[in-house]
Structure 1
Amino acid sequence: MTHDHDPVLRPTPAQTAAALAPPPGRIGGDLVVETLAGLGATTVFGLPGQHALGMFDALRRSSLRYVGLRTENSAGFAADAYGRITGEAAPLLLSTGPGALMSLAALQEAAAASAPVLAVGSQVPVAGLGGGRHGYLHELRDQQASFRDIVKSVHTVRAASQIPSAIAAAWQSALSAPHGPVWVEIPQDVLLAETILPQVTAPDATPGPLPPRPELTAVAADLLTHARRPVIVAGGGVVRSDASGKLRALAEKLDAPVVTTFGGKGAFPWDHPLSLRSWLEDRHTTDYLESADVLLVVGSGLGELSSNYHTFAPRGRVVQIEADLGKLESNHPGIGIHADARPALQALLETVGERRDPAAAASVRAVLDAVRARIDAQDLTLEQQVLAAVREALPDDAPGFWDMTILAYWAWSAFDARRPNTMHSAQGAGGLGYAFPAALGAAAADPTRPVLAVSGDGGAMYGLAELATARQYGLPVTWLIVDDGGYGVLREYMTDAFGAATGTELARPDFVALAESFGVPAVRTSPETLAGDLAAALADPGPSVVVLPAVLKMFAPTHL
């Protein structure tokens, strides 16, 4: 049914003229890159492959900038970081079969961290869809099935005319709250076939808002206003929705202490009198959260790490604001508000009453003092020295990307991320090899400021080939490699559990000589000289490597 007030999108005279006279020599791949450009993309990541060549040939006729990495997994991590830094959907161009499957670990991290990645992969020719009949190279019986368990949505194209709409729908899906990766696959012959379709102009793929239901925010506001001990848990959703300012305003209006999850680092000022910081793997913090009579959880599912390994058992009322419907009340019952963090916090700001609690700041100091005493009772001077050196060297607005390594485990709890959206790690899915290629993606998003990557030697071995990428594009990434001779985290886990470690000790290259062989400046440092060496590397344009030989220890767990 149509109505007189329904909007009609009429082409401009220029659009009409262009549509009636498309340039010659275009193929299906051109429709891909034209649609991406029309949606606002400026940079694409990926690797070429036999079935995907139609897309890559079309890049020659496009204004899109291509950043090519050396493995599909690294390209996925780079796109993930680009999406986190910009808040835009990051296109990732992939080939069929092995090339596509190599991206799965990266897309799992993007899904866990709600990073908007638009993966466009090729497929065997249309005649081979369904699998097994023609024996095409790279053929899978059901390629999209491998992605369906990971991505937000899957979009399959069978004709050139479907390309613009499929990519626009995927774009909208990736950027709808909660953000996440999506998958589009297009057969090889569709990408290569000549097309007489007009050039794609800007399609409308604006994601809709996700506001809270007013009756739920009214109840939540009343609970918070009359709470005796309100506490706020701020997760990654606060950072992704750019709501840190609203979070601070609400906390100050309520005199409510705030703890940030590892994904929410930087959402609340570290040295604020109401800041409990991020000591979530500490029983003192867990006890304090359990004592709250109203706990407001914003942009977090209270998963394994945020709940101190599921030992957290709240005694008061829980109010959870979460854009991912699957995470709403998934771990703790309460008042579940399905909404993006920013409009939900704004609604609460407008409806809560002001409350004053002179004891709130003192209770925060007591918790932090207890945490400090526990850490000081352990022999962990070296670890704190190294983390402090990194903080000293890294500019406040420079983003850092951390691999699954002992120093990152420290950083989750103890690192002061002084700006929102500046600390990122692979703690969503927990795969190795994230830091360096992700940092390259962040540098591609904003090459005006330095970017830090932090890896152990085990994680670094996943991404050594990307030193060539860093050099080729001149990306300002400094890679700190903490060389402890193996998989340090697993070494500690196995030694604690079994009394000995197996499979954790590694032969390594000379990382300094290896980096220099790629034309990347490198230096070997020490805990005493780390701050200066790291600061100098970050200040120099282009890529660099700093290698720190050191065996670090984790602080003792307190969830048992």
Structure 2
Amino acid sequence: MPESSTESETGAHGATGAHLRNGGDVVVETLEALGVSHVFGIPGQHALGLFDAIRRSDLEFVSSRVENNSAFGADGYARATGEVGVLFLSTGPGALTALGALQEAYATGVPLLVITSQVPRRGLGGTRKGLLHQLDDQQRSAQNVTKSTAVVREAAHIPSALADAWALAQAAPAGPTWVEIPEDVLLEATHVPPVRSAVTSIAERMPRAELIDEAAALLAGARLPVILAGGGVRRSEGGRAALRRLAEALDAPVVSTVGGKGAIAFDHPLSAASWIEDQHTTALLEEADVLLAVGTSIGEVTSNYFTFAPRGRLIQVDAEPRVLESNYPGLGIHADAALALSAIADRLPARPADAPARGADIAARLRSDVEARLAAQDLGPELSLMADLRAAVPADAHTFWDMTIAGYWAWSAWDPKQGEFHSAQGSGGLGFAFPAALAASIGSGRRTLAVSGDGGAMYSIAELATARQHDADVTWLIIDDGGYGILREYMTEEFGQATATELARPDFAALARSFGVTAHESTLEDVGATIARTFTEPGPAVVVVPALLRMFAATHVR
């Protein structure tokens, strides 16, 4: 046991051993004052003050089996509920293990509040060596995957530090914030009065008026305006309604990015869906004389691997200033998506009553061209799988997709309908789908769907225990192709053969049953019916489908 424990525990208890309020209590009281209901994480030695305090609260703690999965869980919870996901981490290995998942939340703009313990104050900065879990600079390790980091050295500072981090996590662009609290601060008795209120202020990112005037003028004079809607539209409060209003005012077709799926309903006449990795979509974006890109960096996937070469004017709206003009020059507007879209719509002149309405025809033609191209390829199993899953999953369900061939298909083909589509596409890490989906189920109280390959499934297989422990209503579809299927395909295409992609793996159905989880062995022919059945039964369920899927033919030079 570390040398610090005896001192800290003495400070947290009176002479009779009765508990005295300590820094851990202040943390938990502040979270309750902020309206937090769920906390994710794994207990650790320096963080025991946090976890003991939860016992005296109404917070529901969701314990994962690996810290990276705890962070994916907090991420999925935030996406499904619209709340800030709160994560408790212990010092050193626990904190570092979560960084990969935090990269996804940071890249995608998911609001998380990460509270991690630290070594006692006298060990901060590396002034003393040999403390358990000690890092020279733990805070620095988190700086590349968070919006902010802070170290709290006194219990009196905890309420303001957490309230500020909680608000900043939600301010556009949203993302994870990180607060470290040393072990002795958590365990020492404190004179801080019980926390009953939290003072927060979430900043709005308003657009500059002259930029809005310029954008409105360009769009009003456009012959073929097109809108590219990214994840920033989905995450912006009121963003979907503002997008629909502007698109209809301009009669502009709307292409959704992978992260922007659902920004405009696929059944809206102006929706050109989200076939981003397709030559027809790329061509439409290039042909626009004014392209309005909102809430997207127009990055590698969205640009069809940087084959996109715009010929008209580009207007780019984003709450993250580093995104603006990072890949293509244009009129950059630093603003929240909903605020900018509404402001542009307010400044547009009314369209002439006799103006031709072409947007819906353009969107419909693009979809038809994509369907014709796919029909010319031998993709029956893949197209049927997407169609069968879409028919089996309720229209309003949240779905979570790992970096696997089925997930790559879903980037383009999946219609989220009234539900929400979630993917690890932000940073591209494996293991996202299942822990995110089960936490989303716990938070929303509704069944969710996770889709993984067998390679990605092994990253989060331990969370079957979490799903069983919490009786999460989550369906996990594992497409078992014997290895890292998409990497196998990439390497074979590039080098003629694949290396290190073939994997030994367990009997996933038997393994699930050993956790007490219902498991089904299915095929591509009956997987739809099997998935549909799981949505009628309580508790976690695993569906395993052995299948070798292929991607649709490349429409770009990689």
The structure 2 residue matched to 1:425, chosen from 418, 423, 426, is: 423
Secondary structure class of the residue paired with 1:410: helix
**Partner in structure 1 of residue 223 of structure 2:** 228
**Partner in structure 1 of residue 321 of structure 2:** 325
The structure 1 residue matched to 2:534, chosen from 537, 545, 551, is: 537
The structure 2 residue matched to 1:457, chosen from 454, 458, 481, is: 454
For residues 31-84 of structure 1, give each alpha carbon's deviation from its aligned partner in whole angstroms, at most 9, with x where no partner exists. Answer: 111111111111100000000000000001111111110010000000011112
Residue identity matched to 2:515? F
Superposition pairs of residues 56-205 of structure 1, within 5 angstroms: 56-131=51-126, 133-205=128-200
Superposition pairs of residues 335-346 of structure 1, within 5 angstroms: 335-346=331-342
Q: Is the 8 A contact 1:91 1:118 kept in 2?
A: yes
Shift of 1:358: 2.8
**Partner in structure 2 of residue 414 of structure 1:** 413
Bigger CA drift: 519-528 or 207-216?
A: 207-216
Residue identity matched to 2:395? D
Distance 2:255 2:81 in 1: 25
The structure 1 residue matched to 2:503, chosen from 506, 510, 534, is: 506
**RMSD (CA atoms):** 1.3
Q: Is the 8 A contact 1:132 1:140 kept in 2?
A: no
Distance 1:357 1:331, change over 3 A: farther
Residue identity matched to 1:328? L
Shift of 1:419: 2.6
Gaps of 5+ in 2: 1-17
**Partner in structure 1 of residue 398 of structure 2:** 399
* Equivalent pairs, count: 536
Residue identity matched to 2:297? G
Distance 1:160 1:121 in 2: 14
Residue identity matched to 2:161? A
1:50 paired with 2:48, answer no
Secondary structure class of the residue paired with 1:424: strand
Bigger CA drift: 149-158 or 82-91?
A: 82-91
Distance 1:435 1:206 in 2: 32
Q: Is the 8 A contact 2:160 2:199 kept in 1?
A: no
Distance 1:539 1:357, change over 3 A: farther
**Partner in structure 2 of residue 6 of structure 1:** none
Q: Is the 8 A contact 1:132 1:139 kept in 2?
A: no
The structure 2 residue matched to 1:274, chosen from 260, 263, 270, is: 270
For residues 375-406 of structure 1, give each alpha carbon's deviation from its aligned partner in whole angstroms, at most 9, with x where no partner exists. Answer: 11211100011111110111111100000000
Bigger CA drift: 165-174 or 41-50?
A: 165-174
1:475 paired with 2:498, answer no
Q: Is the 8 A contact 1:267 1:419 kept in 2?
A: no
Distance 1:371 1:62 in 2: 54
Shift of 1:362: 2.4
Distance 1:308 1:76 in 2: 30
Distance 1:499 1:270 in 2: 38
The structure 2 residue matched to 1:522, chosen from 513, 519, 523, is: 519
The structure 2 residue matched to 1:556, chosen from 529, 553, 556, is: 553
**Partner in structure 2 of residue 12 of structure 1:** none
Distance 2:383 2:370 in 1: 14
Q: Is the 8 A contact 1:97 1:140 kept in 2?
A: yes
Shift of 1:353: 2.5
Residue identity matched to 2:457? A
Residue identity matched to 1:277? A
1:348 paired with 2:344, answer yes
Residue identity matched to 1:137? L
**Partner in structure 2 of residue 298 of structure 1:** 294
1:496 paired with 2:493, answer yes
**Which runs of at least 4 in structure 1 moved beyond 6 Å after TM superposition?**
none
Gaps of 5+ in 1: 1-22
Secondary structure class of the residue paired with 1:185: strand
For residues 241-286 of structure 1, give each alpha carbon's deviation from its aligned partner in whole angstroms, at most 9, with x where no partner exists. Answer: 1421221121111110000000011111213222211111111111
Percent identical among aligned pairs is 58
